[in-house]
Structure 1
Amino acid sequence: MAFLASQVTCRTLQDASMYERHEEWMSRYGKVYKDPWEREKRFRIFKENMNYIETSKNAAIKPYKLVINQFADLNNEEFIAPQNIFKGMIICRLLSRAVTPVKDQGHCGFCWAFYDVASTEGILALTAGKLISLSEQELVDCDTKGVDQGCEEDVPANNEKALQKVVANQPVSIAIDACDSDFQFYKRGVFTGSCGTELDHGVTIVGYGVSHDGTQYWLVKNSWETEWVYI
């Protein structure tokens, strides 16, 4: 026990600086750990994530930015765990009058409720002229089986033109692979990271456009609070 306590308290000067950054981060996001051992574990993960972001910045020029956010004390396996409820133009259009402010699903895997509600909010705003924030919790409460896999029907496979046509008129619910570490710490810019096929998170497409270098992109509303902005 004394040996473990010594390990926890002895830090290099570099660790001391990182420890201060962790303390500041904890204060910003209101993080509290149950005991010193859990705190030490989270500090190690925080340090690894900080190093990952710094290394990523220096390794290559990317059109998107990574930052430390509310997920900084989670390793990638922990980050993607709550999302795994699914397993088994030239002009830029932003349907601002049909999109409610970004919400926060917290560390809970019911993103399906957020993107279904977001689409319903958009359709209601476009048809009735009223932008009303609806309740995701009501959908969750009515899902008596506890797991919602959504409908089997999708837009035509690999047909982005068809999807673009729909998005030009209303928000669209989609499922994505959100496992990439860059996705965990994304802040802004056109995300060009890995694009997997393990669909584990639901979001809402609210527009599309072309960046200054000609890269076509989808504008996506997420449900990870405002620290994690649009794709």
Structure 2
Amino acid sequence: MAASACCLLLLVSLLATTAAAANYSMVARHEKWMAENGRKYKDAAEKARRFKVFKANVERIDRFNAAGDKTYRLGANKFTDLTDEEFVSRYTGYSNGSVPSTFGAKKLPGFMYENVSLSEGDSQGVDWRERGAVTNVKDQSTCGCCWAFSAAAAVEGIHQITTNELVSLSEQQLLDCSTQFGNKGCDGGYMQYSFNYILAAGGITTESAYPYQRVQGSTCQFTGEGVAATISGYQEVPLKDEDALAQAVANQPVSVYITAGSLQFKQYMGGVFTGDGCDQNLNHAVTVVGYGVDAAGGGEYWLIKNSWGMQWGEQGYMRLQKGQGACGIVSTLAPAYPGNTYM
């Protein structure tokens, strides 16, 4: 009996020591992560709260990667001390309210790429980065204006395609100036409303002329001077039709709405992201700048430009499973693309 009690005490002690060592290792990981991400907390209580969240997220990431049964991997990034709910409220924001039944009269009818056949090369893959139509990855920070970044990227793309000039355009102009068209600043918006605004304003200026401030300004600073790009209208891709989306993307970058609130999406680090990693709420806007087939066996994918900086994903990009409606990419709100004078 005494021997059994001794063994039990030894086991309990061993387990406690192991748990303490694991927790110390997590503390070290947190400290390293804080240094790498420049994170500072206001006091010890906040640091303790954030460590608890960080630890839970890292444990979920480790379990996911250890399973090794997916075509993508997760990793710690600048979002890892946030709960999923905090992340969604701060870093998404395609809309804030009910989905509008119409986006206004400026939307042109039809689908101009309906009868456009893909070339043999385009049927295999398209990457508008390689064709010079994509600016550097940007960072919306904690302002929920992903819609502005998606719209600006789409206009940057068609402007380069039609003029052979790549110009970084002003998301801040859209953030400050498009509220009367239905957008709500850092509380959400829609790319279609942004296109309506650009049409009404006579164009959009450059990033350098009207730089991003991470908050909505109290007044619109655009006076009509310094227009860098214009559009002639916009169209939408038919809902629930990824073949149609491919036809559009083969011709220009396209703005899309997706679901981005899951741990997997938040902590995505690389590979082809599959639909079973998505959540159910359409809450984010990105730009599709290409598509292709993963050489490592991940299958067909959409190449998505995000607005969370280069530390997220594959240097700011995601390869999202193509052909399966992953993350609601064509399910509820239609993808949209601006046109230039030919439309």
Return the TM-score normalized by structure 2.
0.61
Instruction: Pick closer, same or farther for the CA change 1:214–1:76 going to 2, 3 Å.
Output: closer
Q: Does the 8 Å contact 2:286/2:305 carry over to 1?
A: yes
Q: Which piece of structure 1 moves more, 57-66 or 163-172?
A: 57-66
Whole-Å separation in 2 of the counterparts to 1:23 and 1:59: 26
Correspondence 1:149 to 2:184: no
| Secondary structure at the counterpart of residue 237 of structure 2 | coil
State whether residues 291 and 302 of structure 2, in contact with CA within 8 Å, keep that contact through their aligned partners in structure 1.
Answer: yes
Runs of at least 5 residues in structure 2 that lack an aligned partner in the other structure? 1-18, 99-121, 194-234, 319-343
Matching residue within 30, 44, 49 for 1:36: 44
Structure 2 equivalent of residue 163 of structure 1? 245
The 8 Å contact of residues 90 and 210 in structure 1, kept in 2 or not, is answered as no
Is 2:83 the counterpart of 1:75?
Answer: yes
Equivalent in the alignment of 1:224: 308
Deviation per CA, 1:19-47, whole angstroms, max 9, x where unpaired? 11111111111111111111100001111
SS in 2 for 1:176: strand
Q: Aligned-pair distance for 1:211? A: 2.0
Does 2:94 align with 1:94? no
Question: 1:108, CA displacement in angstroms?
Answer: 1.8
Partner Cα separation in structure 1 for residue 311 and residue 79 of structure 2: 10
Work out which of the two has the higher radius of gyration on C-alpha atoms and give 1 or 2.
2
Residue 151 of structure 1: how far off its partner (Å): 2.8
CA shift, 1:217, in A, is 1.0
C-alpha contact 2:151 2:191 (8 A) present in aligned 1: no
Match of 1:13 in 2: 21
The count of corresponding residues between Structure 1 and Structure 2 is: 221
Distance 1:54 1:94 in 2: 32
Higher relative contact order (CA 8 A, sep 6+): 1
Q: Aligned-pair distance for 1:90? A: 4.8
Question: Which of 185, 191, 199 is matched with 2:282 structurally?
Answer: 199
Report deviation, 1:130.
0.8
Residue from 229, 235, 258 that aligns with 1:176: 258
Letter in structure 2 aligned against 1:187: M
1:187 and 2:277 are equivalent in the alignment: no
- Supply the distance in 2 between the matched residues of 1:56 and 1:221 (Cα, whole angstroms): 24
> RMSD of aligned C-alpha atoms?
1.9
Change (3 A) 1:222 1:214: closer
Instruction: Determine what percentage of the aligned residue pairs are the same residue.
Output: 44
| Residue 105 of structure 2: aligned partner | none
- The secondary structure found in structure 1 opposite 2:124 is coil
Closer, same or farther: CA 178–165 of 1 in aligned 2, 3 Å: same
